[in-house]
Structure 1
């Protein structure tokens, strides 16, 4: 009997496709019924029983204030040497605000290539996650820099891990 059915099914490709799709749909419907998905969507007519079946988890959006403050403070110190400030003084001021890897990279910075202008205007949060962010910090000359800030290593204070020219999207 099974062999006769398989022979009948395989004689026509069209018949094989129709029977296969019908079987898939039947399996989907039976599976949905077994799992309890009765096809209801968020129509607004839910009861307390419906809510108890589905756990609702709200997305947690981290606060950006600490990241923004760290980015602006870092750029304020990083953007230019103050009158009478040496490269060593500049580096010493930045090191506590930078990750250890970035502080090491800053040692090779040619300070004559710094923007030479201070932050001015409203910073823009370009990316924000639980442990990192990218902040566009506008400068007084109309340009801006993109500062990557990460959760502090071993501390609760955010730290800068990179500064790049903000060339747009």
Structure 2
């Protein structure tokens, strides 16, 4: 019986190739299935390389938002009969030393003259800095950069710009 099969198989080269390839594929598939050597799928039990993972720490924005709103409240307009020196004296404790120096060149008549009004929006937040959009009562808003305090734990303002959008 085996000799008849071999004789039948060898009479045609095409038949020999088809049967041989089919047998090889069948042996490979059955062998892999029986021995469990399948390639691991996404949910497979195959061992994976160990990777370290760390959890991201999202800093709290409350201190930055409070610092931005408090600063803008004092910065946005001068009080009646207030001198530029008085205005600067109010702002200096809330600003970084570099920004406090830069404020000396500010013309108080160019200030928006509108107090904060509405909900501030955190535009950027990192471990030691944040950008807060503070809406004003005149419908405009300013973008305030706040950094971790230098030598203190209190956040300090390092810049104020018109919030012109993205």
TM-score, with length taken from structure 2: 0.71
RMSD: 2.1
2:99 match:
102
1:124 equivalent in alignment to 2:121: yes
1:159 match:
156
1:72 match:
69
Given the alignment, which residue of 59, 67, 71 partners 1:62?
A: 59
Query: Based on CA coordinates, which of the two structures has the bigger radius of gyration?
Result: 2
What are structure 1's unaligned runs of at least 5 residues?
Answer: 1-37
1:53 match:
50
1:139 match:
136
- How many equivalent residue pairs? 128
Q: How far, CA to CA, are the matches of 1:46 and 1:71 in structure 2?
A: 52
1:150 match:
147
* Segments of 4+ moved more than 4 angstroms: 38-41
Matches within 5 A, 1:17-96: 41=42, 43=43, 53-96=50-93
What are structure 2's unaligned runs of at least 5 residues?
Answer: 1-38
C-alpha displacement of 1:85: 1.6
C-alpha displacement of 1:101: 0.4
